[in-house]
Structure 1
Amino acid sequence: MMSRPPVPPFNKETAIEKIRLAEDGWNGRDPQKVALAYTENCFWRNRAEFASGREEIVQLLTRKWTRELDYRLIKELWAFTENRIAVRFSYEFHDDSGQWFRAYGNENWEFEDNGLMRRRIASINEHAINAEDRKFHWTIGRRPDDHPGLSDLGL
């Protein structure tokens, strides 16, 4: 059986570690790799879209990152219990016309004992921003350790 540490039960440190690993994966923008963090039959609600299972997750993420260009994401702990983590996040991207956006949201995660996520419920809002109002400035990929987080940026 595949294991994806850290595994439940979570404490503050392992919840923060789990969140950073998820952020790093999403900033890598590889749908196949990201989907491996979820159970085979994981259920997602992402905005008004629903996905069930890794293949649908891959399809959803492929569509997402085809539309959301130069995507950069920051996640932050909101709360946790033994096998659940609540996350707040923000990300920036631009569309194919060059218009930049900032999205804000919350996610509720539920995990199996092996550390794979079995449920992800996400609520997301976004608005257009000017390029000069962007706050996420790093080379595509993993956010540098010294880059401010959401609270530091006032988000």
Structure 2
Amino acid sequence: MSAQAEIRPPLPPFTRESAIAKVRAAEDGWNSRDPERVALAYTVDSAWRNRAEFVNGRADIVAFLQRKWQKELDYRLIKELWAHDGNRIAVRFAYEWHDDSGNWYRSYGNENWEFDEAGLMRRRFACINDAPIKAADRKFHWPLGRRPDEHAGLSELEL
């Protein structure tokens, strides 16, 4: 892989605008539900804590995401910038999904991200809580894939 392919703008240090763009790019990647695509946003030795699970490197990221999206069906995610400084970004997020029995959930969380100079995420710490919801209480109704630009974000939805 060429060095050029390993650069993921926007690059740190982040401004408010570039941090917002980085958050939206991450949201778009995760909404693709393509583990291989998502893993390319992370360093080859990226270290994660996701809930109580520790994930290290792209191969583990791919395996983790494959398991995740086999369980969390019809997954739709919204991320929002919380804070940024230098090469770090903090986000809050919510996503909706259902299990194979048709039970719906809204998962809420916060992530802390650290990037290398090429804009690849080298560390990710995620805290997540799942809340059961009724199908009628869902708020994320766009077709699977990228959230449309006109769809409300977390603040507008009061989540």
Please tell me the TM-score bracket, short chain as reference: over 0.9
CA distances 1:16-63 after superposition (whole Å, capped 9, x unpaired): 000000000000000011000000000000001000000000010000
Determine helix, strand or coil for the equivalent of 1:152.
helix
Indicate the residue corresponding to 1:57 in structure 2: 61
- Structure 2 counterpart of 1:14, from 15, 18, 31: 18
- Structure 2 counterpart of 1:41, from 40, 45, 63: 45
Determine helix, strand or coil for the equivalent of 2:149.
coil
- Note the 1:1-155 alignment, pairs <5 A: 1=3, 2-155=6-159
**What stretches of structure 1 of length at least 5 have no aligned partner?**
none
CA distance in structure 2 between the partners assigned to 1:126 and 1:153 by the alignment: 18
CA distances 1:88-127 after superposition (whole Å, capped 9, x unpaired): 0000000000000000000000000000000000000011
User: In the alignment, residue 59 of structure 1 is paired with which amino acid?
Assistant: A
CA distance in structure 2 between the partners assigned to 1:7 and 1:152 by the alignment: 28
CA distance in structure 2 between the partners assigned to 1:120 and 1:16 by the alignment: 17
Determine helix, strand or coil for the equivalent of 1:75.
strand
Determine helix, strand or coil for the equivalent of 2:8.
coil
Runs (4+) of structure 1 moved beyond 4 Å? Answer: none
CA-based RMSD: 0.4
Determine helix, strand or coil for the equivalent of 2:157.
coil
Identity %: 68
CA distance in structure 2 between the partners assigned to 1:86 and 1:80 by the alignment: 6
**What stretches of structure 2 of length at least 5 have no aligned partner?**
none
Provide the aligned length of Structure 1 versus Structure 2.
155
